């Protein structure tokens, strides 16, 4: 190995074609050792395909994949020190829970007794010791999920691949498993590549996130970067909730773009590359970064009318109509302070943006 | 009530037709089974209960002939079912797990077509085949013919079972360091086992009671149970034929029962 500290996985200009259909279009990304890395994207964007290429179930049409600096193309799945938690778990129905977990250890050449002993320890780690002698079909969905996890972790792979492992669980269990997964990753020190289409899950769990759509990598960064500095319309729209407004750029002044909405409201936000005066671009602003007031609070306050308040527990979502402009969404926390900023439908208000909350995007 | 008109039981004549069908299907079998317990020498006159014809099968004048025929039948059925099931298992693996290959639909047709060919045609063709390559007729020709026609019977339950097994199990096995071969023997094969047992029992029964093909390809003086029974019947039906037929029937029912129990325990797990 040439590198001191090679990446756990490096995908170098990998392309995947199925006949005439290109499922992955020239993907390049590096996943660091000991990282909780998430592939995030809508269904059909190629997440599973990329995982299967790393696991060895699909060949790479072009490009290469490296595991700790070594190219793995051509190695069959059983020779790759990589394990998968399959989307439907794929627990062996004819084997007991214990033998399921022991399977990988045994295939790696450990004795039956040794494998079972280690498998028992793994089951303890996921708190399923008392179910060791049951068949998978006698367990609940959440328990099966943990068996699948124990089975994949038992042979101590260098990288663990998880294909939407929590998608079949109900909300409460999913939240608990998110924490458990995160703990397991820290305890074992194994690199996790986690696949999900749930942006909230990705944001809470990941060290870094790769956002994908239609076989392309849209943005790679940590949760904050992806959420606060989306690089394009797709990422801004897919991650969290946002207001996307059409604006025209009037001029660029010391790093700030001065623009106006269709209705004439003037706005200022940080300029980005490729944006010049006269251009029509988009402006993204998160609902929680907007504040309603009765009078113009800042110089960016925009006149609007409250249309509707929607109570969502921790927050209150307010839909307001900008004067001569589009409808936008404002989110206010359901707190004593927040409740001072809730107004009856029909009330005239001003919508104020927090400083630096707005972000320009080109198509 | 809306559901009522769909209830087949309300159709006129449903009960009568059902009873008629059951009667036609089972009356001859019941008559044979009952009269096998007849004490009389005649097959038509009931003279009281006796097991003498069952004893006659094992000790009577024709018992030596029947014993040899029964031994031939069971040896052939065991070997033919074993070989046919092995071939059918491999064929099902290739067909179901072989991905989309050209001629796949054709291959399936080729495997199952013999089920639809009239048996007499297969019999004549097999006979002509053995004659043209100069194969001397005897036990071996019967065995080869049985292996051939048992394959589609063994294939159907095995491939049906296999279609219900997702290929992610084998992928999971390979992901956990099993070679392709280990994934097959340790994961796929045990999951297929109920289908394989059904296929084996079906092939066994089909081989055991085959008459037409066997009669064509057997050598002179070589008999299986069905051909021996046919030979005996030609000299007039004696009650011992009923006894031997009833035993064969009982054996077939036992096999079907085992097959059913295997598939049922499997569904429970
Ligand atoms: N074996 C295959 N043959 C042809 N197309 C495939 C195959 N597997 C996946 N695809 C296509 O590749 C695209 C990406 O699929 P996938 O990786 O499963 O998406 P995701 O996991 O993100 O939902 C989809 O459009 C899918 O239809
Ligand atoms: Mg997928």
Q: Determine the pLDDT at residue B42.
A: 82
Distance CA A304, CA A178 (A): 40
Closest-CA residue of A relative to B192 is: A94
Q: Whose structure tokens read 């944001």?
A: A203
pLDDT tens-digit readout, B74-85? 999 999 999 999
Rounded distance between C-alpha atoms, residue A313 and residue A329, angstroms: 16
Name the one residue in this structure whose structure tokens are 């004696």: B238
Spatial distance between the Cα atoms of A133 and A153, rounded to a whole number of angstroms: 19
Q: Which residue, among B198, B224, B236, has the nearest Cα to B69 in the 3D structure? A: B224
Among candidates B168, B177, B178 on the partner chain, residue whose Cβ is nearest the Cβ of A90: B168
CB A222 within 8 A of CB A208: yes
Percentage of residues in chain A having pLDDT higher than 90: 66
- What the block records as the tokens of A290 is 């907007």
Q: For residues B136 and B125, give the distance between their C-alpha atoms in angstroms, rounded to a whole number.
A: 16
Average pLDDT over residues B264-268: 62
Ligand 1 atom with the shortest distance to the CA of A47: 22
Instruction: Quote ipTM for the complex.
Output: 0.83
Q: If you average pLDDT over residues B49-53, what whole number do you get? A: 89
Interface of B with A in 50-69 (CB under 8 A): none
Q: Chain B contact for A94, CB < 8 A?
A: yes
Residues in chain A closer than 8 A to B177 (CB atoms): 78, 104, 107-108, 155
Q: How many CA atoms lie within 13 A of B122 on its CB side?
A: 20
Ligand 1 close to Cβ of residue A196 (< 6 A): no
Confirm or reject contact between A18 and chain B (CB < 8 A). no
| Residues in chain A, overall count | 363
Q: Please say if the pLDDT value at position B243 is more than 80.
A: yes
- Segment B180-189 shows an average pLDDT of 94
- Give, in order, the Cα–Cα distances in Å from A85 to each of A134, A145, A148: 20, 8, 6
Distance A361 CA to ligand 1 centre (A): 29
Q: Can you tell me the distance from the alpha carbon of B157 to that of B197, in angstroms, rounded to the nearest whole number?
A: 9
Residue B73, both tokens: 């039948």
User: Parallel, antiparallel, or unpaired for β A82-85 and A159-163?
Assistant: parallel
Return the residue in A51, A78, A137 with the most chain B beta carbons within 10 A, the one to mutate for interface testing: A78
Which segment of A63-67, A143-147, B101-105 scores lowest on mean pLDDT?
B101-105
Looking at the partner chain, which of B169, B176, B269 has a beta carbon nearest the beta carbon of A107?
A: B176
Task: Read off the tokens for A226.
Answer: 């992806």
In this predicted structure, what is the pLDDT of residue B15?
Answer: 87
pLDDT at B265: 67
Fold assignment, A241-361: OB fold (Dihydrolipoamide Acetyltransferase, E2P) (2.40.50)
- Positive or negative torsion for Cα A258, A262, A264, A265: negative
Q: Is the pLDDT of residue B9 over 80?
A: no
pLDDT of A251-299, one tens digit each? Answer: 888 888 888 887 778 888 888 888 888 888 998 999 999 999 887 665 6
Q: What is the pLDDT of residues B213-225, one digit of tens each?
A: 999 999 888 999 9
Q: Write down the domain spans for chain A.
A: 7-235, 241-361
Question: Which among B177, B190, B269 has CB closest to A135?
Answer: B269
Which class for B86: exposed (0-12), middle (13-18), buried (19 or more C-beta within 10 A)? middle
d(CA B149, CA B204): 11
Contact B172 A108 (CB under 8 A): no
B189 in reach of chain A (CB within 8 A): no
Closest CA relative to residue A181, chosen from A142, A220, A140: A142
Q: Which residues of A touch B190 (CB under 8 A)?
A: 94
Ligand 1 atom closest to residue A52's alpha carbon, by position in its atom list? 17
**Mutate which: B161, B174, B175, vs A, most A CBs within 10 A:** B175
Whether A141 has a pLDDT exceeding 50, the answer reads yes
- Inter-chain CB proximity A84 and B175 less than 8 Å: yes
What is the rounded average pLDDT of the residues A91-97?
A: 95
Mapping DSSP onto H, E and C, the string for A27-66 reads EEEEECCCCEEEEECCCCCCHHHHHHHHHCCCCCCEEEEE
- Chain B residue numbers touching A56 (CB-CB < 8 A): 174
* Nearest protein CA to atom 1 of ligand 1, as residue: A18
Strands A208-213, A36-40: pairing kind: parallel
Nearest to B244 by CA among B53, B84, B30: B53
Q: How many angstroms separate the alpha carbon of residue A49 from the centre of ligand 1?
A: 6
Statement: residue A300 has pLDDT above 70: no
The rounded Å distance from CA A36 to ligand 2 centre is 18
- Tokens of residue A113, six digits: 């007794």
Average pLDDT over residues A35-45: 95
Q: Does residue A346 carry a pLDDT above 50?
A: yes
Which stretch of DSSP H or E encloses residue A122?
helix A112-125
Nearest Cα of chain A lies from the Cα of B181 at a distance, in angstroms, of 11
Q: Which helix (H) or strand (E) holds A251?
A: strand A243-253
Closest residue on chain B to A94 (Cα) = B191
CA atoms within 13 Å, Cβ hemisphere of B192: 32
A47 lines ligand 1 (CB under 6 A): yes
Which residues, other chains included, contact A277 with Cβ-Cβ below 8 Å and sequence gap of 6+? A249, A250, A251, A252
Given CB atoms, is B41 within the 8 Å cutoff of chain A?
no
From the CA of A39, give the closest atom in ligand 1: 22
Structure tokens at B70: 């029964």
Q: Under an 8 A CB cutoff, do A155 and B177 touch?
A: yes
**The pLDDT value given to residue A296:** 63
Q: For helices B119-132 and B139-163, give the axis angle rounded to 10 degrees.
A: 130
Q: Is A46 in the pocket of ligand 1 (CB under 6 A)?
A: yes
The answer on pLDDT for B4 being more than 70 is: no
For atom 17 of ligand 1, which residue has the closest CA? A46
Q: Is A103 on the interface with B (CB under 8 A)?
A: yes
* Full 3-state SS string of chain B: CCHHHHCHHHCCCHHHHHHHHHHHHHHHHHHHHHHCCECCCCCCCCCCECCHHHHHHHHCCCHHHHHHHHHHHHHHHHHHHHHHHHHHHHHHHHHHHCCCCCCHHHHHHHHHHHHCCCHHHHHHHHHHHHHHCCCCCCHHHHHHHHHHHHHHHHHHHHHHHHHCCCCHHHHHHHHCCCCHHHHHHHHHHHHHHHHHHHHHHHHHHHHHCCCHHHHHHCCCCCCCHHHHHHHHHHCCCCHHHHHHHHHHHHHHHHHHHHHHHHHHHHHHC
Q: Which residues of B touch A77 (CB under 8 A)?
A: 171, 174-175
Q: What is the dihedral of CA A159, A163, A165, A170, to 10 degrees?
A: 150
Which DSSP symbol is given to A354?
Answer: P
Residue A93 contacts B where some CB pair is shorter than 8 Å: yes
Residues of A in contact with B180 (CB under 8 A): 76
Q: Closest approach of chain A CAs to the CA of B112, in angstroms?
A: 30
3-state secondary structure of A229: coil
Nearest CA to ligand 1 atom 6: A18
- Chain B contact set for A92 (CB, 8 A): 169, 172-173, 187
- Cβ separation B179–A78 shorter than 8 A: yes
C-beta A57 within 6 A of ligand 1: no
pLDDT at A180 over 50: yes
Mean pLDDT in chain B? 89
**Mean pLDDT along residues B51-69:** 89
Tell me the C-alpha distance between A101 and A289, whole Å. 47
Q: How confident is the model at residue A357 (pLDDT cuts 50, 70, 90)?
A: confident
**pLDDT, mean of residues A122-141:** 93
Give the ligand whose atoms come closest to the C-alpha of residue A214: 1
Q: Provide the pLDDT for residue A253.
A: 85
CATH architecture, range A7-235? 3-Layer(aba) Sandwich (3.40)
pLDDT of residue A5: 65
A36-40 vs A191-196, strand pairing mode? parallel
In terms of residues, how long is chain B? 269
The response to whether residue A2 sits with its C-beta less than 6 Å from ligand 1 reads no
Environment class of residue A257 by beta-carbon count within 10 Å: exposed (0-12), middle (13-18) or buried (19+)?
A: buried
**CB distance A90–B269 less than 8 Å?**
no
Distance between A86 CA and the closest CA of chain B, angstroms:
8
Predicted local distance difference test score (pLDDT) of residue B99: 73
Contact present, A314 and A334 (Cβ < 8 Å): yes
Cα distances (angstroms) measured from residue B147 to each of B89, B116, B158, B227, B228: 14, 17, 16, 18, 21
Spatial distance between the Cα atoms of A352 and A297, rounded to a whole number of angstroms: 7
| pLDDT confidence of residue B267 | 56
Please state, rounded to an integer, the average pLDDT across all residues of chain A: 91
In contact, B244 and B60? CB cutoff 8 Å? no
CA distance B34 to chain A (A): 44
CA distances from A240 to A45, A150, A354, B45 (A): 18, 32, 18, 90
């Amino acid at each position: 190995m040439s590198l001191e500290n090679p990446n756990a996985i490096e995908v170098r200009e990998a392309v995947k074609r199925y006949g005439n259909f290109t499922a992955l279009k020239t993907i390049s990304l590096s996943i660091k050792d000991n990282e909780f890395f998430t592939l995030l994207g809508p269904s059909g964007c190629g997440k599973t395909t990329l995982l299967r290429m790393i696991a060895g179930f699909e060949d790479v049409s072009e490009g290469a994949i490296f595991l700790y600096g070594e190219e793995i193309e051509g190695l069959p799945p059983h020779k790759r020190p990589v394990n998968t938690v399959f989307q439907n778990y794929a627990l062996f129905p004819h084997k007991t829970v214990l033998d399921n977990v022991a399977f990988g250890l045994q295939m790696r050449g450990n004795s039956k007794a040794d494998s079972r002993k280690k498998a028992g320890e793994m089951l303890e780690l996921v708190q399923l010791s008392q179910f060791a002698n049951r068949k998978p079909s006698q367990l609940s969905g959440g328990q099966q999920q943990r068996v699948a996890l124990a089975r994949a972790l038992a042979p101590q792979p260098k990288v663990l691949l998880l294909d939407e492992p929590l998608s079949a669980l109900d909300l409460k269990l999913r939240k608990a498993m998110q924490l458990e997964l995160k703990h397991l990753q820290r305890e074992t020190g194994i690199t996790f590549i986690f696949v999900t289409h749930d942006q909230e899950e990705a944001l809470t769990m990941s060290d870094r996130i790769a956002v994908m759509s239609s076989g392309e990598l849209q943005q790679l960064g940590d949760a904050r970067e992806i959420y606060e500095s989306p690089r394009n319309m797709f990422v801004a729209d897919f991650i969290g909730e946002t207001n996307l407004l059409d604006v025209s750029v009037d001029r660029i002044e010391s790093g700030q773009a001065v623009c106006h909405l269709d209705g004439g409201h003037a706005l200022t936000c940080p300029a980005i590359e490729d944006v010049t005066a006269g251009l029509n671009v988009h402006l993204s602003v998160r609902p929680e970064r907007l504040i309603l007031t009765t009078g113009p609070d800042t110089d960016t306050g925009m006149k609007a009318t409250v249309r509707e308040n929607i109570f969502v527990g921790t927050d209150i979502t307010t839909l307001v109509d900008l004067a001569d402009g589009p409808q936008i969404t404002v989110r206010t926390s359901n707190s004593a302070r927040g409740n001072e900023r809730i107004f009856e439908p029909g009330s005239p208000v001003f919508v104020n943006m927090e400083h630096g909350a707005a972000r320009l995007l080109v198509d | 009530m809306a559901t009522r008109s769909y209830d087949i039981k309300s159709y006129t004549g449903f009960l009568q037709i059902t009873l008629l069908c059951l009667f036609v299907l089972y009356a001859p079998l019941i008559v044979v089974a009952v009269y096998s317990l007849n004490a009389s020498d005649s097959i038509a006159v009931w003279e009281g209960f006796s097991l003498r014809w069952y004893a006659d099968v094992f000790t009577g004048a024709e018992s030596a002939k029947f014993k040899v025929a029964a031994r031939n039948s069971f040896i052939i059925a065991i070997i033919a079912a074993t070989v046919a099931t092995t071939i059918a298992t491999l064929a099902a693996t290739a067909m179901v797990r072989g991905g989309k290959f050209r001629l796949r639909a054709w291959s399936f047709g080729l495997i199952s077509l013999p089920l639809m060919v009239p048996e007499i045609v297969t019999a004549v063709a097999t006979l002509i085949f053995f004659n043209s390559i100069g194969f001397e007729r005897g036990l071996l020709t019967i065995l080869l013919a049985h292996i051939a026609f048992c394959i589609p019977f063994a294939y159907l339950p095995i491939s049906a079972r296999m279609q219900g097994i997702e290929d992610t199990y084998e992928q999971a096995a390979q992901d956990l360091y099993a070679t392709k071969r280990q994934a097959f023997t340790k994961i796929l094969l045990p999951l297929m086992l109920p289908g394989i047992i059904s296929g084996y029992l079906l092939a066994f029964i089909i081989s055991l009671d085959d008459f037409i093909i066997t009669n064509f390809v057997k050598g002179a003086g070589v008999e299986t149970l069905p051909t021996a029974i046919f030979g005996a019947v030609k000299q007039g039906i004696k009650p011992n034929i009923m006894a031997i037929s009833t035993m064969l029937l009982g054996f077939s029912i036992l096999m079907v029962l085992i097959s059913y129990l295997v598939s049922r325990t499997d569904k429970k797990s």
